[in-house]
Amino acid sequence: MSEDVTENATEDQPGRGCAVVLGATSPIAEAFCRRAAEAGYSVFAAARSAEAAAAIAADVSVRSRQSTGSCAFDALDAATIEAVFAQAEQELGRIALVLVAFGDMGDVGGADVGGAGELEAARRVLDVNYTGAALASEAGAGALLRGIGGSQTGDVPTLLGIASVAGDRGRQSNYAYGSAKGGYALYLQGLRNRLFKLGVHVVTVKFGFIDTPMTHGMKTAIPIASPDAAAQALLKAARKGTDVLYFPFFWRFIMFIIRSIPERLFKRLSL
Amino acid sequence: MTDAPSSHPGWVEQELYGWGRYPRIGSLVARPESQRGLVAAATSAASNGDSSSGLIAHGLGRSYGDVALLRNGRVILTRRLDRMLAFDESTGVLRCEAGVSLEDLLEVFLPRGWFPPVLPGTKFVTVGGAVANDIHGKSHHADGTFCDHVNSIDLLLASGEMVTVSRDQHSELFWATVGGIGLTGIILAVEFALRRVDGPWFETESIRIRDLDHFFEVSAASTGFTHVVSWIDTLAKGKRLGRGTFSRGRHAVGNNQPVGKGLFSKLPLTVPIDLPNLVLNPFTLRVFNEVFYRKQWRAETKGLVHFEPWFFPLDVIGNWNRGYGPRGMIQYQIVVPPDPEHRAIRTVIEGIATSGMGSFLAVLKEFGDNAHGGLSFPMPGVTLALDFPNYGKPLFELLNRMDRVVAEAGGRVYLGKDSRLSKEMFQQMYPGWQEWKAVRDEWDPTGRFQSELGRRLGLVQGPVDKAEEAA
Ligand SMILES: Cc1cc2nc3c(=O)[nH]c(=O)nc-3n(C[C@H](O)[C@H](O)[C@H](O)COP(=O)(O)OP(=O)(O)OC[C@H]3O[C@@H](n4cnc5c(N)ncnc54)[C@H](O)[C@@H]3O)c2cc1C
Ligand SMILES: NC(=O)c1ccc[n+]([C@@H]2O[C@H](COP(=O)([O-])OP(=O)(O)OC[C@H]3O[C@@H](n4cnc5c(N)ncnc54)[C@H](OP(=O)(O)O)[C@@H]3O)[C@@H](O)[C@H]2O)c1
């Protein structure tokens, strides 16, 4: 399939290669699958449930008539992460875009400081959001490097990693998740630096509130963006070669202010 | 950001309302992202020991009244179940999840030459809602209702099982679900046929209507058109009663000029806040109707138009319902059987005209012969739809009087737009209700599926009814 010079071209568009999405059942990731197909990528959807991933891939192909594929993986199992890229390459050819979307907010920060339940929950949150995401990004970078030079549209192969504004400052309510996301953002920063001269771009994504199950029913004065708007922002960032994307954009300022609060004061607050 | 872990669809307290924004009712609400998530949410609702408080599906909330609401119960929002599962390019048959909207269908399939089988007056309706209210459009006389194009429905039952129902499989449940206002189960997926078209263009004609007799004359002479609808001035009395504008059209053939994607899908205008209750008052009402009538100053006009503003004139203004202010609005849609003298429809229009509570938008249309029984609304005759600001008691009294006229004529009120019909009137209007209920009760013996409207009309028992019965 990789020798196919027309890649996944359709009647009205040149082919852009394959977009691989890990954690496709996230509404943001699913919207990204649809938008990427619309923009000319074939789509490979990976999720914990094979059935759910297949349903998402089927939807994308009905909507866009792009070729699609799917498989199951678990962020806690590195071997399954590597297998995603191998299968995507085999089925759909050159990988041009990777989105690492999975995440687990967990339930850490309750009354039981240091309790057994807390430790187990914290381990899981760190494993999924840091270790899993970092390994997926590393494997994704390898896949993107293998496809370098294959683009007919001149696009730079790009990895998008979803971190969070929660990683910009540790807070009592979600520091396990926040620290994993913060660590992952740092990992992406290093990877971007390493891959720059090799011709692969890395986008660090810091989302504010997006309207997904993670935030459903949350009462907040800050506006919540739709998953589709988030997905469009992701594609735009890939196209423009953005390094760090804050979305919605005003979170850059909110987090600037939150980071500027002196620790002496911050530790007393419950934000 | 301290919400429940991701893969457990959480229940949150939320106030919901229909398009009329009356009534508003708080319930526990879940918004699953997948069929599996929906089943899990429905199961968790049952195992929480409060299954008696009931469960109802809620699409895009474009029904007007309380048909998708439930006090002290649980409501499942289906809009995130929007996967298109399979499409056959040769037959146009699509299988999709219940939360796919008609807007979605138009966006994906019109560029490929396929059109939804039936379109109502707004595109912001889910496929599940289209089945549950057995919706009709301007083309009822030619195409029947949405459900006439449905092959099969995947339904989540009260028992937690899933069944596929069709005209041959569990056909009694299929027909009870068609127009079954969500009370037979939660629709997970629907298979139905799209229609081949050459493009988005419509050949239309618009004719000025002098009075009610003229309306019926033009309607009878419009059989060459697949789509018809007319707007009438509800303030016109006496000889002018029924005056208005008749629109008719059909898909243009051979004109497949492409249209830029999303050209019409952006909403150029919205009503961002509630307008004060007084903005839509008897004076503005009179001006509006007069302008609407005079707009059609030539006796007849023709044109090739894009389907979208023609089908969805109101979708152009997002949240136009907020124009009625915080008290909301009441929509009243009726159908009465054919009658050479048009007595009942005349009485209703007269009743509105003399009440001084005229309607801003009044739509008149003759249905075709197709009818489905059960709780499905369309039947042969003429249908009238009216929008009223929620004037409260005087309006309710007026509509109660109109209900009696309609029921006596053998007609009925559209449940998908209702928030006030009485049980007695309902039973007279829907003579098939008992058979429908028998099927419903057989598949949901403990009454898990409930709604405000269902409780009011005696179709299901709410906790209060149950307590009374036990006492
Ligand atoms: C401007 C405007 C114009 C309209 N014009 C027309 C018209 O021309 N013809 C017409 O027929 N109607 C018309 N309607 C009404 C509208 O088409 C119906 O009320 C439709 O059912 C709304 O669909 P929804 O997805 O918003 O469903 P909701 O309003 O959320 O729910 C409607 C019913 O469907 C049930 N339901 C929804 N999803 C499911 C599911 N997955 N499983 C089981 N039950 C479900 C609900 O329980 C409820 O009983 C119009 C409405 C508006 C606002
Ligand atoms: N929503 C927000 O406001 C917000 C803000 C900042 C950052 N984010 C980040 O955005 C991304 C998408 O989240 P979302 O908001 O769309 O929430 P979501 O719906 O909860 O999505 C989380 C996704 O991660 C997957 N996942 C969890 N654990 C996994 C594991 N061990 N292996 C594989 N996949 C796993 C889930 O898969 P299952 O379907 O199998 O559960 C799900 O698809 C996440 O990285 C999240 O941290 C979201």
Interface test with A, best of B1, B74, B106 (most A CBs within 10 A): B1
Instruction: For residue A148, give how far its alpha carbon lies from the nearest alpha carbon of chain B (Å).
Output: 32
CATH fold of A18-266: Rossmann fold (3.40.50)
Asked if B345 and B240 touch (Cβ cutoff 8 Å), the reply is no
Which pair of tokens denotes residue A177? 């998740």
Peptide bond into B23 cis (omega under 30): yes
Domain boundary among B129, B162, B196: B196
Residue B267's pLDDT is what?
45
Asked if B78 and B33 touch (Cβ cutoff 8 Å), the reply is no
B residues 10..49 contacting A (CB < 8 A): 10, 12-14, 29, 31, 33-36
In angstroms, the CA A122 to CA B202 distance is 60
CATH code at position B343: 3.40.462.10
Instruction: For residue A114, give how far its alpha carbon lies from the nearest alpha carbon of chain B (Å).
Output: 19
CB pairs under 8 A between A and B: 72
Distance A104 CA to ligand 2 centre (A): 6
- Name the residue with tokens 């980071």: A259
Q: What are the residue ranges spanned by the domains of chain A?
A: 18-266
Q: Domain residues for B48? A: 2-79+434-470
Q: Do B63 and B91 share a structural domain?
A: no
Distance B456 CA to ligand 1 centre (A): 19
pTM of the model: 0.94
Q: Do B321 and B267 share a structural domain?
A: yes
Q: Do A217 and B29 touch (CB under 8 A)?
A: yes
Q: What is the ipTM of this complex?
A: 0.93
Asked if B96 and B84 touch (Cβ cutoff 8 Å), the reply is yes
Ordered mean pLDDT values, 10 residues apiece, chain B (471 residues): 42 95 95 95 78 85 98 96 98 98 98 97 97 98 98 97 98 98 98 96 95 97 96 90 95 71 46 64 68 70 90 84 89 97 96 85 93 97 95 96 98 98 98 98 96 97 69 60
Does residue B428 sit within a domain? no
Which of B6, B13, B14 minimises the CB distance to A214?
Answer: B6
Asked if A35 and A232 touch (Cβ cutoff 8 Å), the reply is yes
| Alpha-helix runs per DSSP H in A197-260 | 227-240, 251-260
Distance B61 CA to ligand 2 centre (A): 27
Q: Do B439 and B387 share a structural domain?
A: no
Which pair of tokens denotes residue A241? 């070669």
Return the closest-CA partner of residue B226 out of B257, B195, B184, B191: B195
Mean pLDDT of A150-167: 95
Going by alpha carbons, the residue nearest to atom 53 of ligand 1 is: B62
- Give the range among A66-70, A134-138, B37-41, B325-329 with minimum mean pLDDT: B325-329
Distance B410 CA to ligand 1 centre (A): 24
Does residue B206 sit within a domain? yes
Q: Do B246 and B163 share a structural domain?
A: no
The amino acid present at A48, given as its one-letter code, is R
Of A20, A30, A48, A49, the residue with max ligand 2 atoms within 8 A of its CB, to mutate for a pocket test, comes to A48
List Cβ neighbours of A171 (8 Å cut-off, separation of 6 or more).
A178, A271
In angstroms, the CA A175 to CA A165 distance is 12
Does residue B427 sit within a domain? no
Residue B260's pLDDT is what?
45
Of B3, B6, B38, the residue with max ligand 2 atoms within 8 A of its CB, to mutate for a pocket test, comes to B6
Residue A9's pLDDT is what?
80
Q: Does B262 touch chain A (CB under 8 A)?
A: no
Residue A107's pLDDT is what?
79
Average pLDDT, chain A: 94
Q: Do B175 and B220 share a structural domain?
A: no
Name the region of A208 (left: φ>0; alpha: ψ -120 to 50; beta: rest).
beta
Going by alpha carbons, the residue nearest to atom 11 of ligand 1 is: B135
Contacts 24+ apart (CB under 8 A), A121-129: A121/A176, A122/A176, A124/A76, A125/A176, A125/A177, A125/A180, A126/A176, A126/A179, A126/A180, A127/A75, A127/A76, A128/A75, A128/A76, A128/A102, A128/A103, A128/A104, A128/A180, A129/A103, A129/A104, A129/A177, A129/A180, A129/A181, A129/A184
Residue A219's pLDDT is what?
83
Name the region of A72 (left: φ>0; alpha: ψ -120 to 50; beta: rest).
beta
Residue A193's pLDDT is what?
98
Residue B3's pLDDT is what?
35
Residue B213's pLDDT is what?
97
In angstroms, the CA B349 to CA B384 distance is 9
Residue B8's pLDDT is what?
38
Does residue B304 sit within a domain? yes
Question: Number of structural domains, chain B?
Answer: 3
Residue B50's pLDDT is what?
56
Q: Do B297 and B405 share a structural domain?
A: yes
Q: Is the CB of B395 under 6 A from ligand 1?
A: no
Q: For residue A45, what are the β-bridge partners?
A: A21, A70
**Sign, CA torsion B189/B195/B198/B203:** negative
B residues 78..137 contacting A (CB < 8 A): 80, 83-87, 94, 108
Give B346 or A118, the one with higher predicted confidence. B346
Of B63, B138, B154, B364, the residue with max ligand 1 atoms within 8 A of its CB, to mutate for a pocket test, comes to B63
Distance A30 CA to ligand 1 centre (A): 26
Residue B33's pLDDT is what?
96
Residue A251's pLDDT is what?
97
Is B323 in a helix, a strand, or coil? helix
Q: Do B29 and A49 touch (CB under 8 A)?
A: no
Q: Is the CB of A102 under 6 A from ligand 2?
A: yes
CATH code at position B137: 3.30.465.10
Distance B74 CA to ligand 2 centre (A): 25
Q: Is the CB of B2 under 6 A from ligand 2?
A: no
Residue B465's pLDDT is what?
65
Asked if B223 and B230 touch (Cβ cutoff 8 Å), the reply is no
- Name the residue with tokens 């912001």: B124
- In degrees and rounded to multiples of 5, residue B120 shows phi and psi of -80, -165
Q: Do B438 and B393 share a structural domain?
A: no
In angstroms, the CA B13 to CA B239 distance is 53
Q: Do B283 and B212 share a structural domain?
A: yes
Residue B439's pLDDT is what?
98
List Cβ neighbours of B287 (8 Å cut-off, separation of 6 or more).
none
Q: Do B225 and B156 share a structural domain?
A: no
B10: which chain A residues are within 8 Å (Cβ-Cβ)? 213, 216-217
Q: Do B42 and B185 share a structural domain?
A: no
Interface test with B, best of A216, A232, A258 (most B CBs within 10 A): A216
